[in-house]
């Protein structure tokens, strides 16, 4: 294999073929907190891959489970039949469902990715409304600057105009205002104040469209991919109250926040707000095998499975729903999380993490720093277009020096594996500080 890849045949995601000034760096192997590139250089993983490798790389328990399952049974259909691992995994996930057993989000639907989880949740929401005699409720509301993957459902409810521009969308989608206020958020450790008024924007959409047209509202409890936007205090509570008042289902997209990222198993546990549906993926299998899952309330499940208009309304399921190898990976991942207390470890590291990240305050070009759990968003001042994004320079410099960060435009996002040690946090912050200074 060549160390300088040709882009002749491989059409990379995220239009990367256009973005790369030089050939992309190639990663060859990974263990614990580190990748090794094809030239033998070590790269500290500041982003847990793409927010997914929560238990760190190369976990043997997961690898063994996957290898064993591949030999035992590589594939089994999940239509009208099944295999024990899917039932076992669903039962274990239900026992650790967002909000605990009392929240009642115990019905688990398996998908193959975050985007599929989002599509699944949207379809379940609309089908549920119909099943309870609310067939006019087909509209789904998202939030500006929300990210929900790249399926047609996800881009329609997603709040990134650029992602929606050239495609036909799910009819009737609309977006509540986003939570990000650079002035109020600046250098805040923890959550900004005054969230309820922002959530009131849902009232505007209810007045505009009529509650009887709205099936569901979907939000990330903490927006990740679009730049780590924290919900102000009271925001999610008010969203829950308003959606309930108007008969609208509330969907939390926990593809990023799920499985320990905030220091609790799910954001539902962190904020104490219980939605009707929760989407997950990424950390579900520690990123080792593609898989997603939707947690649905018992009420929704009951109406769809046993109500007067039952299954016929909801033909839904994927070839890889409940894939045996993915279930094996997921079961092993859950065991690792439990054995090592990883679903709450971010809480123990959060003070050190947040103090270290906030020590960057005052460096030239930083306009905002946001932290929660083991997540950070560092917003840099934009340069004039011709000069190119400051974020890209920071990414390039960090990578050259052995640190993987994620940048979207001028926001640098960090979300390291939950096994990170304090010295590694200090290394990340030191390398990042140098790169930010150079990009000034
Ligand atoms: N929802 C959220 C909140 C995400 O962050 C992502 C991926 N970053 C997705 C959905 C889509 O997941 P996938 O890329 O696995 O389809």
Phi/psi at 311 (5° precision)? -45, -35
Q: Of 225, 284, 288, which is best to mutate to test ligand 1, by the most ligand atoms within 8 angstroms of its C-beta?
A: 225
Q: Say how many Å lie between the CA of residue 255 and the centre of ligand 1.
A: 6
Give the pLDDT score at 20.
Answer: 58
Q: What atom in ligand 1 is closest to the CA of residue 257?
A: 3
pLDDT recorded at residue 70: 98
Q: What's the token pair of residue 271?
A: 């904020």
Rounded CA gap, 292 and 275, in Å? 18
Numbers of helices and strands, H then E, in the chain: 17, 16
**pLDDT tens digits for the chain (440 residues)?**
557 777 777 777 766 556 555 567 889 999 999 999 999 999 999 999 999 999 999 999 999 999 999 999 999 998 888 999 999 999 999 999 999 989 999 999 999 999 999 999 999 999 999 999 999 999 999 999 999 999 999 999 999 888 888 899 999 999 998 765 666 677 777 788 776 778 899 999 999 999 999 999 999 999 999 999 999 899 999 999 999 999 999 999 999 999 999 999 999 999 999 999 999 999 999 999 999 999 999 999 999 988 776 555 678 999 999 999 999 999 999 999 999 999 999 999 999 999 999 999 999 999 999 999 999 999 999 887 656 678 889 999 999 999 999 998 889 999 999 999 999 999 999 999 999 999 98
Q: What is the pLDDT of residue 156?
A: 97
CA 239 to chain centre: 19
The CA-based dihedral angle spanning residues 6, 9, 11, 12, taken in that order and rounded to the nearest 10 degrees:
-30
The answer, yes or no, to whether any atom of ligand 1 lies below 6 A from the CB of 179, is no
3-state SS assignment for residue 433? helix
φ/ψ (deg, to 5) at 214:
-105, 120
How many angstroms is it from 186 CA to the middle of ligand 1? 26
Q: Are 235 and 195 in contact (CB under 8 A)?
A: yes
- Rounded CA separation 299/305 (Å): 10
Pocket test for ligand 1, best of 48, 145, 147, 290 (most atoms within 8 A of CB): 147
**Residue 120 near ligand 1, beta carbon < 6 Å:** no
CB of 147 within 6 A of ligand 1: the answer is: yes
Report the pLDDT value the prediction gives residue 18, as an integer from 0 to 100. 62
Ligand 1: residue of 148, 153, 261, 413 to mutate (most ligand atoms within 8 A of CB) is 148
Residue 329 confidence (pLDDT): 98
- φ and ψ at residue 383, rounded to 5 degrees: -95, 170
Q: Which atom of ligand 1 sits closest to the CA of residue 146?
A: 3
Expressed in angstroms and rounded, the spacing between residue 310 Cα and the centre of ligand 1 is 29
Please identify, by atom number, the ligand 1 atom nearest to the C-alpha of residue 281. 15
Which residue among 53, 149, 152 has the greatest number of ligand 1 atoms within 8 angstroms of its CB, and so is best to mutate? 149
| Atom in ligand 1 nearest the alpha carbon of residue 114 | 12
Ligand 1: which residue has its CA nearest to atom 13?
Answer: 114
Q: Please, is 309 exposed, middle or buried when counting C-beta atoms within 10 Å of its C-beta (0-12, 13-18, 19+)?
A: middle
- Pocket perturbation via mutation, ligand 1, pick of 282, 286, 291 by most ligand atoms within 8 A of CB: 282
In whole angstroms, give the CA distance from residue 55 to residue 48.
Answer: 9
**pLDDT digit string, tens, across residues 250-302:** 999 999 999 999 999 999 999 999 999 999 999 999 999 999 999 999 999 99
In the prediction, which pLDDT does 2 show?
58
pLDDT of residue 119: 98
Kind of pairing between the strands at 188-189 and 366-372: parallel
CA dihedral 230, 231, 233, 239 (to 10 degrees): -170
Cα–Cα distance between 157 and 142 in angstroms, integer? 5
Residue 32, Ramachandran bin (φ over 0: left; ψ between -120 and 50: alpha; else beta) = left
ipTM comes to 0.99
Ligand 1 touching residue 137 (CB < 6 A): no
Whole-number pLDDT of residue 85 = 97
Strand partners, 403: 44
Alpha carbon separation from 311 to 162, 222, 315, 321, 359 (Å, rounded) = 36, 33, 7, 17, 54
Residue 117: the pLDDT is: 98
- The CA 440 to ligand 1 mean position distance, Å, reads 31
Is residue 98 in contact with ligand 1, taking CB distance under 6 Å?
no
Give the strand pairing for 292-296 and 366-372: unpaired
Domains of the chain: 16-55+341-438 (3.90.1150.10), 65-339 (3.40.640.10)
Cα(246) to ligand 1 centroid in Å equals: 28
Give the tokens for residue 196: 């309820």
């Amino acid at each position: 294999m060549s160390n300088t890849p040709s882009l002749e045949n491989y059409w990379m995601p995220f239009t990367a073929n256009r973005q790369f000034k030089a050939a992309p760096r190639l990663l060859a192997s990974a263990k614990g907190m580190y990748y090794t590139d094809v030239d033998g250089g070590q790269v500290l993983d500041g982003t847990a891959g793409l927010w997914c490798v929560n238990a760190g790389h190369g976990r043997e328990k997961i690898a063994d489970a996957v290898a064993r399952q591949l030999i035992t049974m590589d594939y089994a259909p999940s239509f009208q039949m099944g295999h024990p691992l899917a039932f076992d995994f669903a039962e274990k996930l239900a026992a650790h469902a967002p909000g605990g057993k009392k929240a009642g989000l115990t019905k688990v639907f398996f998908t193959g990715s975050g985007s599929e989880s989002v599509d699944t949740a949207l379809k379940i929401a609309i089908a549920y409304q119909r099943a309870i005699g609310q067939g006019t409720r087909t509209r789904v509301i998202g939030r500006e600057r929300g990210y929900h993957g790249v399926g047609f459902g996800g881009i329609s409810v997603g709040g990134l105009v650029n992602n929606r521009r050239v495609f036909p969308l799910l009819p009737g989608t609309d977006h509540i205002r986003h939570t990000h206020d650079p002035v109020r958020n600046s250098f805040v450790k923890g959550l900004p104040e005054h969230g309820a008024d922002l959530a009131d924007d849902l009232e505007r959409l209810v007045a505009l469209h009529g509650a009887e047209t709205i099936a569901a509202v979907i939000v990330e409890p903490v927006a990740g991919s679009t730049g780590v936007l924290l919900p102000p205090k009271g925001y999610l509570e008010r969203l829950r109250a308003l959606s309930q008042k108007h008969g609208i289902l509330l969907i939390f997209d926990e593809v990023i926040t799920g499985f320990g990222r905030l220091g609790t198993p799910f954001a539902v546990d962190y904020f104490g707000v219980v939605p009707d549906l929760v989407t997950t993926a990424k950390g579900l299998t520690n990123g080792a095998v593609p898989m997603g899952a939707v947690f649905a309330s018992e009420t929704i499940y009951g109406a769809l499975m046993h109500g007067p208009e039952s299954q016929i309304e909801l033909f839904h399921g994927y070839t890889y729903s409940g894939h045996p190898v993915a279930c094996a990976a997921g079961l092993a991942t859950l065991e690792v999380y439990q054995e090592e207390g990883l679903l709450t470890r971010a809480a123990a590291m959060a003070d050190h993490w947040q103090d270290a990240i906030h020590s960057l305050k005052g460096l030239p070009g930083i306009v905002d720093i946001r932290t929660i759990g083991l997540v950070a968003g560092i917003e840099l001042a934009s340069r004039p277009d011709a000069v190119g994004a400051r974020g890209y320079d920071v990414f390039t410099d960090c990578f050259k020096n052995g640190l993987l960060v994620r940048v979207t435009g001028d926001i640098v996002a960090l979300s390291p594996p939950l096994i990170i040690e304090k010295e590694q946090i200090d290394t990340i912050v030191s390398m990042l500080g140098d790169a930010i200074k150079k990009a000034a």
